[in-house]
């Protein structure tokens, strides 16, 4: 075991091998970032301010666009600073904060996509009861539940990271602070933490995947059934 020292900052080395392309990468990523942010801001503004778009589908779409703005802003601006300064250092507390918001917004987006699939299932498979099933109160309740679950999920990651011990090496092999490279960098015994974090992450991912797959499976079945009924009427 190496001598443990107090790590006050990390050095992100995700693009350290591409020094000759830093200028090109900075311009390319900046262009993509501006296009992404502009598009999502327009979608969020239109869905929130247009009275004709105050339906559950556009409500969730606007929320998704709003999340995307901050999701990309969690890691990309720091990467721009690293490309411009040729040195991507981040304080210890800043690394934890970046990881917290990255997982908060990422898990919120994944859960919101699953809810959007469920919303389309209700709209297509139960069109007559859809206004009652997906009420104004329910859509806000679902959104608040997603944010709450994502908050505790990302808080678990942040707490786990804050209890890790780090040795002399503070070079993170990534372009932002993520839990996997930080666990690999730690001097602590991370077996229990890896198992716990993997279990929580897999539960969220597989749960969202199962809900989305089930919703669109019912939608596909409803579309096929409706098509068969129409073909039978013309025969």
Tell me the per-residue pLDDT of 201-218, one tens digit each, with 9 for 90 and over.
Answer: 888 889 899 999 999 999
Question: DSSP readout, 1-55?
Answer: -PPP----EEEE-TTTT-GGGHHHHHHHHHHHHHHHHHHHHHHHHHHHH-GGG-S
pLDDT number for residue 235:
62
Pick the more confident residue, 32 or 4: 32
Average pLDDT over residues 22-51: 87
pLDDT tens column, 94-104: 889 999 999 99
* CATH number for region 9-110+132-210: 1.20.1070.10
| Residue 15 reports pLDDT greater than 70 | no
The residue with tokens 């999701």 is 71
d(CA 198, CA 195): 5
Helices and strands in the chain, H and E counts: 7, 3
What letters, b where the CB count within 10 A reaches 16 and e where it falls short, cover 3-35?
eeeebeebebebbeeeeeeeeeebeeeeeebee
Domain boundaries along the sequence of the chain: 9-110+132-210
pLDDT (average), residues 2-14? 69
Q: What is the pLDDT of residue 18?
A: 62
The whole-number pLDDT of residue 16 equals 62
Q: What integer best gives the mean pLDDT of the chain? A: 84
Q: Distance (Å, rounded) from C-alpha 41 to C-alpha 182?
A: 32
pLDDT at residue number 2:
46
Q: What pTM was computed for the model?
A: 0.84
Q: Are 12 and 80 in contact (CB under 8 A)?
A: no
Task: Evaluate the CA torsion angle 140, 142, 147, 152 in order and state its sign.
Answer: positive
pLDDT single digits (tens) 108-133: 999 999 999 999 999 998 888 898 88
Mean of the pLDDT values across residues 56-81? Answer: 89
Q: Comparing 175 with 116, which gets the higher pLDDT?
A: 116
The pLDDT confidence band at residue 19, using thresholds 50, 70 and 90, is: low
**C-alpha–C-alpha distance, residues 88 and 25, integer Å:** 15
The answer for residues whose C-beta is within 8 angstroms of residue 153's C-beta and 6 or more apart is: 103, 104, 107, 200, 201, 204
What is the rounded CA–CA span in Å between residue 135 and residue 137? 5
Tens of pLDDT along 132-166?
A: 888 888 999 999 999 999 999 899 888 888 888 88
């Amino acid at each position: 075991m190496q001598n443990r020292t107090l790590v006050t900052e990390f050095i992100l080395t995700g693009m350290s091998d591409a020094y000759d392309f830093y200028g090109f990468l900075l311009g390319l990523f900046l262009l993509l970032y501006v296009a992404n942010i502009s598009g999502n801001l327009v979608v969020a503004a239109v869905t929130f301010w247009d009275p004709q778009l105050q339906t559950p589908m556009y409500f969730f779409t606007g929320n998704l666009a709003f999340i995307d703005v901050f999701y990309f802003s969690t890691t990309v601006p720091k990467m721009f600073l690293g490309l411009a300064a040729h040195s991507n250092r981040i304080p210890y507390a800043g690394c934890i904060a970046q990881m917290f918001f990255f997982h908060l917004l990422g898990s919120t987006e994944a859960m919101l996509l699953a809810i959007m699939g469920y919303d389309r299932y209700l709209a297509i498979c139960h069109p007559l009861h859809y206004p009652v099933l997906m009420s104004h109160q329910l859509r806000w309740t679902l959104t608040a539940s997603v944010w709450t679950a994502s908050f505790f999920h990302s808080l678990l990651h942040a707490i786990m990271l804050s209890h890790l011990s780090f040795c002399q090496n503070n070079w993170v092999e990534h372009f932002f602070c993520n839990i996997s490279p930080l666990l690999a960098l730690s001097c602590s015994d991370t077996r229990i933490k890896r198992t716990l974090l993997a279990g929580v992450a897999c539960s969220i991912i597989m749960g969202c995947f199962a809900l989305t797959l089930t919703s669109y499976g019912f939608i596909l079945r409803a579309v096929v059934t409706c098509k068969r009924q129409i073909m039978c009427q013309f025969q």
